[in-house]
Amino acid sequence: MNDRIDSTARYRALDAAHHIHPFSDTAELNGAGSRVIVKADGVYLWDSDGTRIIDGMAGLWCVNVGYGRRELLDAASEQMQALPYYNTFFRTTHPPVVELSDMLAQLAPACFNRFLYCNSGSEANDTALRAVHRYWALQGKPHKRYVIARRNAYHGSTIAGATLGGMAYVHEQMPSKMEHVAHIDQPYWFGEGGEMDADAFGAERASQLEAKIVELGADNVAAFIGEPFQGAGGVIFPSSTYWPEIERICRKHDVLFIADEVIGGFGRTGEWFAHRHFGFEPDVITMAKGLTSGYIPMGAVGLSDRIANVIVEGGEFNHGFTYSGHPVAAAVAVANLKLLRDEGIVARVKNDAGPYFQKQLREALSGHPIVGEIHGAGLVAGIQLAEDPAARKRFDNGGEVGTLCRNFSFNDNLVMRASGDRMLLSPPLVVTHDEVNEIVARAKAAIDATAKALNIR
Ligand code: PMP
C-alpha cells in the first residue's frame, strides 16, 4: 500500500512538473493532483491507489469494445512484427490499410466506397475540408469555399477543427482562425427554444442554414458540417424536424453535407453511424475514436461516390500525413471492427443494451427535482440539470452546478462528464445490465448530492 501511495505521489509530482493537460486549468489541477490511471478491464479503470472506477464515458467516447481486448493487442503486436511502419505515399500500399478500406466500404452506407486516413478526429475534419475544396475546384467552382457549422458544436482542436467548432470559450483563445467559416445557431430546444414547441424550433433552427447560404450566396458555399447529435456540446439530440430540413436545404443549394461521426460512429446510437439513426444521408463522413476503440490513434474520412470519383479522376490531390493509414493502427481498426460486427456488439446496443440503458436512466431520473430533460439513444445520454425543470429554467451558474455534480460522481468513482449544465454518459458498448445499473445508480447519487448541496428537494 505504501508503495502505491509513494508511486501516486511521485507520478503526481512529475506530472505537475512536466505535463500540460488538454482542456485543463493545469495550475489548479496540479494543486489538487491528477488521478493516475494504471490499468483497465471491460468497463472498469483502476487508479494507482488500487481504487476501481466505472467508466461511464468509454474513455473519451471511444473505447467502444471495452478495455483489455486481447484481439486488438494481438493485431497490434503481429503487425508491429511484420511491418511496424510504411507510408502509402510512394506508389505503395499494405495489407492492413487495404483490409480496413474494404471493411469500411462494407459497413458504411452503399454510396461510401473510398476512404482517406489520418490520426484523429480533428485531422479527419481538416481532411474533409481539403477534400471538399478539392472537389469544388475540380468542378470548376473554386469560389464555393465557405463552410457553415454550428455554435456549440465540437469538431476538434486544430485551427480548422476549432474554428469549425462553435465553442465560444475556445474561440476566445484563438486570435487567428480559419477563413471562410460561418456559424448558425444550435438546435438546443431546452436552452434556446423559448416559447416555441420543440418541432417548430427544430425547423426554425434548420432554416438558419438556408438564410446563411442565401446571405453568403450559394455559389460561395462549399459545405455544411454537423455532428448528428452534439457530443461535447451536451449530447443534444435535435427534434425530428431538424435533419430532414438541413438535408433538403443542402440539396437545394448544392451544398455538401459533412456528418462528423467522430463520436456517433461505430455503434454509439445502435447504428453503425449516427446519421442512420436520424435517417439522413451525408456526402462526407468523418470518423475517429470508435474506429480503433481508442486503442491506437486513427481517423478516417469517407467520401461518397459523387465526390470520390471526381477526386480520384482529378489528378494529384496534395494532401496526406506521414501516418495516413498507419499499418499498426489499420490492423487494430480491422480487429476492432470485426469484434463490433462478429460479436454483434453494435446490434446489441440497438436491441438490448441501448434500450435498457435509456429505460433505466429515465426511470431513475425522470421527474427528479433538478433534471430538466434526458436526451439519448443507444449508449449515449445527456442529462439536463435545471433549477425549475417544468419551466425549463436553467441554473444561473449552470457551469458550476455541472462541475459540482461531476465532482460528486468523480469522488464516487463513476466517470461522468459535465458540459456546462448537462451531464454526459457514453459507456463502452459492451456494458452489461448490472454495469448499467451501477452507472445509473451512481449518476443518480451524484445528481441527488448536487440537489442536496443546492438545497433543492
Ligand atoms: N469531432 C467530434 C464530434 C468530437 O467529439 C471530437 C473529439 N471529442 C473531435 C471531432 C476531435 O477529435 P480528436 O480529439 O481525436 O482530434
Give me the CATH number covering residue 219.
3.40.640.10
The Cα 351–Cα 457 span in angstroms is 35
- Provide the pLDDT for residue 6: 79
- Provide the pLDDT for residue 457: 80
The grid coordinates of residue 340 equal: 463490433
Q: Say whether both 355 and 323 belong to one domain.
A: no
| Selection from 277, 275, 294, 295 nearest residue 286 by Cα | 275
Q: Say whether both 159 and 227 belong to one domain.
A: yes
Assigned domain for 123 exists: yes
Assigned domain for 196 exists: yes
Residue-range definition of the domain harbouring residue 47: 35-68+344-453
Q: Say whether both 351 and 314 belong to one domain.
A: no
Assigned domain for 2 exists: no
Q: Say whether both 164 and 282 belong to one domain.
A: yes
Q: Say whether both 217 and 147 belong to one domain.
A: yes
Is any ligand 1 atom within 6 A of the Cβ of residue 260?
Answer: yes
Pick from 324, 342, 360: which residue ends a domain?
Answer: 342
- Provide the pLDDT for residue 2: 60
Q: Say whether both 123 and 231 belong to one domain.
A: yes
CA-to-CA separations, 257 to 111, 158, 181, 251, in angstroms, rounded: 14, 21, 14, 9
Q: Say whether both 255 and 365 belong to one domain.
A: no
- Provide the pLDDT for residue 94: 98
Is any ligand 1 atom within 6 A of the Cβ of residue 122?
Answer: yes
Domain count along the chain: 2
Show the DSSP H helices in 33-182 as ranges: 58-61, 70-82, 95-107, 121-138, 159-164, 168-171
Is any ligand 1 atom within 6 A of the Cβ of residue 421?
Answer: no
Kindly report the CATH number assigned to the domain that includes residue 358: 3.90.1150.10
- Provide the pLDDT for residue 428: 99
| Selection from 297, 431, 313 nearest residue 361 by Cα | 431
Q: Say whether both 301 and 433 belong to one domain.
A: no
Distance between Cα 336 and ligand 1 center (Å): 19
Assigned domain for 283 exists: yes
Average pLDDT per consecutive 10 residues, the chain (457 residues; last block may be shorter): 77 96 95 95 97 98 98 98 96 97 98 98 98 98 98 98 96 96 98 97 98 98 98 98 98 98 98 98 98 98 98 97 98 99 98 98 97 98 97 97 98 98 98 98 98 94
Q: Say whether both 272 and 378 belong to one domain.
A: no
Q: Say whether both 153 and 275 belong to one domain.
A: yes
Is any ligand 1 atom within 6 A of the Cβ of residue 422?
Answer: no
CA-to-CA separations, 141 to 68, 138, 146, 257, 382, in angstroms, rounded: 49, 7, 12, 17, 40
Q: Say whether both 156 and 279 belong to one domain.
A: yes
Q: Measuring from atom 5 of ligand 1, which residue has the nearest CA?
A: 263
Q: Say whether both 191 and 93 belong to one domain.
A: yes
- Provide the pLDDT for residue 5: 67
Return the bridge partners of 385, or none. 371
Assigned domain for 28 exists: no
Residue in 63, 122, 285 to alter for ligand 1 test, most ligand atoms within 8 A of Cβ = 122
Pick from 319, 342, 365: which residue ends a domain?
Answer: 342
Would you say 287 and 265 are in contact if contact means Cβ atoms under 8 Å apart?
Answer: yes
Pairing status of strand 221-226 against strand 146-150: parallel
